[in-house]
């Protein structure tokens, strides 16, 4: 019986194939479009139910009778012909003929009704899977002789839109594949390649469509329509299961879900997971919300597991076999939920509904949630909480948290893995600030749910937590230290809930800000360091178009061991008259009077009656204190650390005595510098006035370096690497040198110009002899000097005055005279001198750079004391910038570049040091004059050429691979400055070449040894 059935199917398939051959032959012989329509109608009437009268009105009378008299088979015969046509080779043969032959040659002549019922019907009413496998390859059909390939592509795109979008062809495919498979059914394995092939073709449609294709074939719109149809098919399948009371847990995946899962995998691979989840999330969320309104939390698990409509979503994710697609869907799901601001309970149950099945049965999915999503990905904090609730705690967030002694699934193992990564110093050095904040929040949230008993079960979590807190407290970044304080607080609450440990004043409240001030939506405002606020010398050159604030990466105010930051104030000093006579004895009174200047006007009214006011007769010894008026007395007072009042008084007058520049200054400068550095202000100052004492000391030291540079710098450079000072004192020394360099660079001194004496005395005249005579008509104005243009050399000066109008004249007249001298001579008697720093630049920089890489007793800049190294490099960058456009900068730049290019410095593990190197390199580029760079290349100065090329290549490397966001920003700024410097240097070289050519002098042959590259150009100089 079965053999007869197969024999009958084979005979029918042969008849169908013969009929297709007859139609193709008739179309090829046709001379008129009506003949083609009649031929196609002859086979279409055997496959589909067609109203022939719809075609009769579009063709001539001689063909109309043929169409109307066509034989119409019964419904059963038509169904057999349909299956034989689409499941055999007949459809593929006819379809290729319709797409490649009929479409370019005859289809434009078809009337609309004929195109619909005699051409499109073969694709619209056919087997959707077979139609897709035939249509989609034609979207990129190669050109052959005699075929209008544009017509083929246009028709294929039209049919794809018609079949898959307008007529829900994707939903039809899902229905076709929607059969239940038993575990021993061989059909399952036979259809799996079909699922994969059809899904691949479906996902490739946007890529194969032409640029001028319909907009519905664009990636976003097409995948949106496909997703909507597939989700509708899944919900329709779930409804069928609900009607039949089928439990999906007891059956295998059916064809609909397998096809949907395979297509979703392909869509995610194409980068459109956001489109997919934008349609998936609202449907699942509505389903979850409907159950939350009608059920209690305790019974939700049983309700979801027994409901086929809920099970279909779990099975849908189980059908997605591609791990990458599952990961992309999970990531996009979390971001989508965060964007829609769903509640914690809704988010938990939605994630549970989609992923709990594969989370329990697939190791890779568990690893994705508890490892990759906690350690290597970055999500908003709300998403992190949902991940922990689902994958670690195993329960939704509720108003009353569970007891501390509860056993949480995987909590101990998760904490062990988190702190193992979090505690490593390499993680602090290499991870981005967002990554560190995210992992810190994960550790803190887990500790918040732990009990002392659970913490004791871990292997070495306590030791690792303490290690991680310790290495972060040493970090110069305030945000990193705050992370350590937060974890320390949560750890102390686990150990002893009654005695929490507060290392940061901002953590006094019960609510912890696990975002640490960072937001995922505004990463541009990431605070990776405290930028210095002091202004440098505003050197404006043609090579600096990048704002200087982009280069300031090293703070001037950070101290170690959580000391309070000293307030950095900018000082404006009055011009010093070198002939002024100052009484040092009066300086210590001025410091007191300065504090009372603001109140002087308020008390002026009552000062005249002060003799009538009662006053205290008790002696407070203030008038008996010794007035310090000599620097040697200041040094002696500072050394008496047991006399707090004496030290404070010495600090009050030290700066003003130093700035008075007494004769003894050069002799006591070294001792005074050493004493000021070693004095402990926090030990001698009153409580609450420590910062004030620190500021006075720092101002005094800056004044010493400014007024007596060589002696002071010699002592400071010795103290910098001395084993007798601590890290905070080294940082203070560098801060002092930085501020002193800036002050020297901004110094302005007024002095008289050197001018030759006048040959003719003008004692008796009221005006200089060289001015024109004041004689003239009544009402004439005074003479004014005016500029004259049009001549290269002016041997005389021009003066002009207005004359009164003559009778009948409307406008006032003017007259001019010439003189050999300028009337502005009196205003030019004084001149300004700028930037005194270059004279002392070498004394600032060279001793500090010498031996920085040597490890001494108590000094290890490359490893332990990396903060001092960063401050040192920052100070050197400020110094080279203060010498901008000066020959001294050109002399010091190669040595500084050599220091920066050493591997231990430029590739330092700490981002703090790398930022300082980028800043200093940018300062070098700003400081060098383009003409010097050009002359160095002409002279073959390989040291400078190699240094500048290193800056370019290293900045490119940092911009490409550095994980620190601030380093990336500084590297891009450095590259921009380098490009502008190179452009200016190339212009200087071109000018030099033209000069040499005009004088017939050739450039040196070693010019090619030094090269300088300009970005976005093929030129090298």
**Averaged pLDDT, groups of 10, the chain, 1021 residues long:** 64 90 92 89 89 76 77 86 91 93 90 90 92 92 74 93 94 81 49 86 93 92 95 84 54 78 94 94 92 72 81 90 94 94 92 93 93 93 93 72 51 92 91 92 92 86 92 89 92 90 77 74 37 36 38 40 39 40 44 43 44 51 61 85 82 88 88 88 67 84 92 91 89 93 80 51 51 72 67 55 72 55 48 77 92 82 89 95 90 92 90 93 91 83 87 93 89 92 85 59 46 48 43
Residue 648 in contact with residue 625, Cβ under 8 Å? Answer: no
End-to-end, the C-alpha distance of the chain in Å comes to 91
Give the model's pLDDT for residue 195.
Answer: 85
Give SS3 for 747: coil
162 Cβ partners below 8 Å, 6+ apart? 120, 123, 124
Residue 748's CB is within 10 A of a number of other CB atoms, namely 11
Give the model's pLDDT for residue 324.
Answer: 95
**Which residue do the tokens 């001698």 mark?**
684
d(CA 737, CA 845): 10
- Provide the CA 1012 distance to its chain's centre, in angstroms: 30
d(CA 445, CA 374): 11
d(CA 883, CA 900): 18
Give the model's pLDDT for residue 939.
Answer: 80
Six token digits for residue 288 = 């979850």
Q: Is 393 exposed, middle or buried (0-12, 13-18, 19+ CB in 10 A)?
A: buried
Give the model's pLDDT for residue 297.
Answer: 58
Query: What is the four-CA torsion angle of 450, 451, 456, 461, rounded to 10 degrees?
Result: 30
150, 156, 213, 217, 223 from 210: Cα distances, Å: 10, 11, 5, 9, 16
Radius of gyration of the chain (CA): 44
């Amino acid at each position: 019986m079965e053999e007869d059935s197969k024999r009958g199917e084979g005979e029918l398939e042969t008849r169908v194939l013969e009929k297709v051959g007859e139609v193709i032959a008739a179309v090829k012989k046709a001379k008129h479009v009506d003949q083609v329509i009649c031929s196609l109608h002859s086979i279409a009437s055997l496959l589909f139910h067609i109203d022939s009268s719809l075609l009769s009105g579009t063709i001539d009378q001689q063909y109309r009778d043929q169409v109307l008299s066509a034989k119409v088979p019964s419904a059963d015969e038509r169904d057999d012909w349909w299956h034989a046509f689409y499941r055999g080779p007949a459809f593929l043969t006819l379809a290729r003929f319709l797409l490649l032959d009929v479409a370019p040659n005859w289809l434009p002549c078809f009337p609309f009704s004929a195109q619909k019922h005699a051409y499109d019907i073969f694709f619209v009413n056919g087997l959707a899977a077979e139609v897709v496998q035939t249509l989609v390859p034609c979207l990129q059909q190669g050109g052959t002789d005699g075929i209008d390939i544009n017509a083929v592509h246009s028709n294929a795109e039209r049919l794809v839109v018609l079949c898959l979008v307008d007529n829900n062809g994707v939903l039809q495919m899902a229905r076709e594949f929607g059969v239940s498979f038993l575990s021993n059914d061989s059909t399952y394995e036979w259809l799996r390649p079909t699922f994969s092939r059809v899904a691949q073709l479906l996902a490739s449609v946007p890529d194969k469509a032409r640029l001028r294709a319909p907009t519905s074939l664009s990636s976003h719109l097409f995948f949106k329509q496909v997703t909507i149809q597939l989700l509708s098919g899944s919900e329709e399948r779930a409804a069928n299961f609900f009607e039949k009371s089928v439990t999906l847990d007891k059956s295998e995946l059916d064809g609909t879900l397998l096809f949907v899962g395979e297509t979703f995998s392909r869509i995610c691979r194409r980068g459109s997971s956001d489109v997919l989840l934008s349609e998936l999330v609202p449907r699942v969320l509505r389903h979850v919300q409907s159950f939350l309104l009608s059920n209690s939390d305790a019974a939700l698990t049983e309700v979801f597991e027994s409901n086929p409509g809920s099970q279909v979503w779990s099975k849908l994710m189980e059908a997605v076999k591609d791990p990458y697609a599952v990961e992309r869907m999970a990531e996009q799901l979390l971001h989508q939920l965060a964007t829609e601001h769903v509640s914690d309970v809704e988010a938990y149950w939605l994630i549970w509904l989609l992923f709990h099945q594969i989370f329990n049965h697939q190791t890779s999915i568990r690893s994705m949630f508890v490892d990759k999503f906690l350690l290597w990905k970055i999500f908003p904090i709300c998403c992190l909480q949902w991940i922990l609730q689902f994958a670690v705690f195993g329960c939704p967030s509720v108003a009353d948290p569970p007891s501390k002694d509860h056993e949480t699934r995987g909590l101990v193992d998760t904490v062990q893995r988190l702190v193992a990564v979090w505690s490593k110093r390499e993680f602090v050095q290499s991870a981005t600030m967002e990554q560190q904040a995210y992992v810190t929040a994960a550790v803190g949230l887990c500790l918040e749910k732990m009990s002392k008993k659970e913490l004791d079960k871990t292997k070495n979590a306590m030791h690792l937590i303490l290690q991680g807190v310790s290495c972060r407290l040493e970090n110069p970044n305030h945000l990193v230290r705050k992370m350590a304080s937060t974890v320390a607080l949560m750890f102390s609450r686990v150990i002893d809930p009654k005695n929490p440990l507060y290392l940061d004043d901002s953590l006094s409240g019960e609510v912890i800000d696990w975002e640490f001030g960072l937001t995922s939506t505004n990463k541009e405002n990431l605070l990776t360091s405290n930028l210095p606020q002091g202004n440098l010398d505003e050197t404006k050159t043609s090579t600096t178009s990048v704002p200087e604030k982009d280069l300031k990466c090293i703070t001037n105010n950070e101290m170690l061991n959580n000391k309070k930051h000293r307030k950095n104030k900018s000082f404006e000093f009055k011009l010093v008259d070198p002939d002024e006579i100052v009484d040092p004895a009066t300086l210590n009174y001025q410091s007191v009077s300065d504090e009372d200047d603001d109140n002087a006007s308020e008390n002026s009214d009552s000062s005249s009656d002060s003799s009538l006011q009662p006053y205290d007769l008790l002696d407070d010894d203030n008038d008996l204190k010794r007035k310090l008026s000599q620097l040697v007395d200041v040094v002696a007072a500072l050394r008496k650390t047991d006399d707090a009042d004496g030290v404070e008084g010495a600090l009050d007058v030290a700066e003003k005595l130093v700035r008075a520049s007494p004769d003894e200054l050069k002799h006591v400068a070294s001792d005074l510098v050493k004493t000021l550095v070693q004095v402990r202000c926090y030990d001698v100052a009153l409580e609450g006035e420590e910062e004030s004492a620190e500021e006075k000391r720092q101002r005094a030291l800056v004044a010493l370096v400014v007024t007596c540079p060589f002696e002071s710098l010699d002592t400071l450079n010795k103290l910098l690497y001395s084993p007798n000072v601590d890290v905070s004192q080294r940082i203070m020394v560098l801060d002092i040198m930085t501020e002193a360099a800036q002050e020297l660079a901004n110094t302005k001194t007024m002095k008289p110009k050197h001018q030759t004496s006048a040959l003719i005395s003008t004692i008796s005249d009221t005006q200089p002899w060289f001015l024109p005579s004041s004689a003239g008509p009544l009402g004439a104005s005074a003479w004014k000097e005016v500029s004259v243009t049009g001549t290269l050399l002016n041997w005389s000066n021009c003066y002009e005055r207005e004359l009164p109008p003559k009778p009948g004249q409307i406008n006032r007249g003017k007259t001019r005279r010439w003189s050999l001298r300028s009337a502005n001579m009196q205003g030019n008697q004084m001149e300004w001198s700028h930037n005194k720093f270059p004279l002392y630049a070498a004394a600032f920089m060279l001793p500090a750079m010498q031996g920085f890489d040597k490890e001494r007793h108590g000094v290890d800049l490359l490893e332990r004391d990396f903060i001092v190294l960063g401050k040192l490099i920052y100070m050197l960058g400020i110094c080279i910038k203060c010498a901008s456009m000066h020959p001294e900068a050109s002399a010091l730049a190669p040595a500084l570049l050599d220091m920066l290019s050493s591997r231990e410095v430029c590739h330092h593990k700490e981002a703090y040091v790398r930022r300082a190197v980028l800043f200093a390199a940018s300062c070098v580029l700003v400081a060098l004059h383009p003409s010097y760079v050009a002359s160095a290349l002409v002279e073959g100065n390989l040291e400078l050429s190699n240094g500048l090329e290193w800056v370019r290549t290293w900045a490119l490397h940092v911009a490409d691979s550095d994980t620190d966001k601030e380093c990336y920003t500084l590297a891009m700024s450095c590259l921009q400055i380098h490009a502008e410097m190179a452009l200016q240097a190339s212009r200087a070289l071109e000018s030099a070449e033209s000069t040499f050519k005009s004088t017939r002098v050739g450039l040196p042959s070693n010019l090619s040894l030094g090269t300088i590259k300009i970005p976005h150009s093929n030129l090298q100089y």
